[in-house]
Amino acid sequence: MRLELGADQSRMSLLEKVWQINWGLVLVLCALTAIGLTALYSAANGRFDPWASRQLIRFGFGVVVMLAVALVDIRIWLRAAYPIYFLALALLVLVDVAGQIGMGAQRWIDLGVIQLQPSEVMKIAIVLALARFFHGASQEDVGRTAFLMIPGAMILTPVALVLKQPDLGTAMMLMAVGGAMLFLAGVQLWKFGVVAALGIGAIPIAWQFLREYQRKRVLTFLNPESDPLGAGYHIMQSKIALGSGGLAGKGFLMGTQSHLNFLPEKQTDFIFTMLAEEFGMVGGVVLLSLYSLLLVYGIIIALGCRNHFGRLLSLGLTTNLFLYVFINIAMVMGLIPVVGVPLPLISYGGTAMLTVLFGFGLVMSVHIHREVRIHRRAMLGDL
């Protein structure tokens, strides 16, 4: 692949790259993590253990990884995109063979120091791989239906493996981010309409393959009051906590629903509910404003990049963050069925924390190497 480099980019030293790091973006990430640590401290009834202390260590390690990723030349990530994707795919297969079972699903691989969730890794890997694939494609290529069979298979294969765990929420998120990458690459809207129509038509068939607890989640979403002490308990308690927070909240460590253990999974999936109960709508708006800043940073970095791979990568990872935030908050508000999607940098979890920071390391790499030009019509394997 022919590379055209600006004079400044080709001679950029490590120190100059460090100077080019978007420290405003790093500051927003730190602010979000500080809110998350505060929430985890509260979730443990005013103690750093067991969640906040571990999360802080993971964040420190994750920041080092993020900055290291940011300093790596974007052309190296271009070369590594497919190997990273196939590695993530192999890890998903390994989960099925030797994965750890937790909360009724087989989703983790025990590495000793951390329990790795390969489906979280795949959320980053699929964006990398699709950005790599479409980088060398012309608009005429993207317009051909046959050309889209390969990226379609790249999306559906990990989705099928994640569904087998089973993890419907993550599978749907992989579908969504994959679809977003196709849209960003220039696939015509009518093709999305056809896929959507086929998906709606397949709902009765898909319903037969859902597990019993998944069916209950959907039915509970439609009518949570039908089983207030059973399947509807989680979402009803979440709504009570959200409403009771009011405008300014009940105060730090004063949330009754969370501290009296009415609120389930308050350190992970329902952590936004606990924050809203203690800090009210004001706290929720501050949190959403910080997330919005991250989205703006990602879009601006994409628009400022001079190569197609970097633009797709930054926009794809920004979309990934948006889906994380939207799905989690919509879930705890009862707008969509309950699924296991964490709130980025806020919810307790090692793999999610590290993959989000790795993703933002890639976004910052796009920013640092924004002047690198990579010829789009070159052969895919000619590096």
Rama region for 224: left / alpha / beta (φ>0; ψ in -120 to 50; rest): alpha
**DSSP at 112:** S
CA distance 51 to 44: 7
- Identify the three-state secondary structure at position 336: coil
pLDDT at 260: 80
pLDDT at 338: 80
Mean pLDDT check: name the lowest of 26-30, 54-58, 135-139, 366-370. 135-139
Identify each DSSP E strand in the chain by its residue range. 3-4, 100-102, 105-110, 115-116, 373-374
Render pLDDT for 169-195 as a digit per residue (tens, 0 to 9): 888 899 999 999 999 999 998 888 888
Q: Where does the pLDDT of residue 351 fall: very low under 50, low under 70, confident under 90, or very high at 90 and above?
A: confident
Q: Which residue matches tokens 């068939």? A: 205
- Identify the three-state secondary structure at position 232: coil
CA distance 50 to 52: 6
Render pLDDT for 60-104 as a digit per residue (tens, 0 to 9): 999 999 999 999 999 999 999 999 999 999 999 888 776 556 555
Compare 378 and 130 and report the one with higher pLDDT: 130
- Identify the three-state secondary structure at position 258: helix
Domains of the chain: which residue ranges?
3-374
pLDDT at 132: 95
Render pLDDT for 97-128 as a digit per residue (tens, 0 to 9): 765 565 555 567 777 667 788 889 999 999 99
pLDDT at 124: 95
pTM of the model: 0.89
Mean pLDDT check: name the lowest of 148-157, 200-209, 253-262. 200-209
Q: Where does the pLDDT of residue 2 fall: very low under 50, low under 70, confident under 90, or very high at 90 and above?
A: very low
CA distance 13 to 328: 41
pLDDT at 223: 72
Q: What is the DSSP string of 294-337?
A: HHHHHHHHHHT-SSHHHHHHHHHHHHHHHHHHHHHHHHHTTSS-
Whether 5 has a pLDDT exceeding 50, the answer reads no
Q: How far is CA 6 from CA 10, 200, 216, in A?
A: 6, 48, 57
Render pLDDT for 212-264 as a digit per residue (tens, 0 to 9): 777 777 777 777 666 666 667 778 888 888 888 889 889 898 888 888 878 77
**Over the chain, what is the mean pLDDT?**
86
CA dihedral 218, 219, 222, 223 (to 10 degrees): -140
Task: State the sign of the Cα–Cα–Cα–Cα dihedral 209, 211, 213, 214.
Answer: negative
Task: Provide the edge-to-edge strand list for the sheet that holds 115-116.
Answer: 100-102, 105-110, 115-116
CA distance 313 to 135: 10
Compare 338 and 358 and report the one with higher pLDDT: 358
Read off the tokens for 270. 């329902």
From the CB of residue 199, how many other CB atoms can be counted at a distance below 10 Å?
11
> Do 71 and 78 meet the contact criterion of CB atoms below 8 Å apart?
no
pLDDT at 168: 80
- The alpha carbons of the chain give a radius of gyration, in whole angstroms, of 21
**DSSP at 342:** P
298-327: average pLDDT = 94
pLDDT at 103: 53
Whether 379 has a pLDDT exceeding 60, the answer reads no
- Identify the three-state secondary structure at position 220: helix
> Do 325 and 291 meet the contact criterion of CB atoms below 8 Å apart?
yes
Render pLDDT for 226-235 as a digit per residue (tens, 0 to 9): 666 666 777 8
> Do 211 and 166 meet the contact criterion of CB atoms below 8 Å apart?
yes
Q: Where does the pLDDT of residue 315 fall: very low under 50, low under 70, confident under 90, or very high at 90 and above?
A: very high
pLDDT at 227: 65
From the CB of residue 187, how many other CB atoms can be counted at a distance below 10 Å?
20
Q: What's the CA angle centered on 342, arms 339 and 344, to 5 degrees? A: 145
pLDDT at 3: 41
Whether 201 has a pLDDT exceeding 70, the answer reads yes
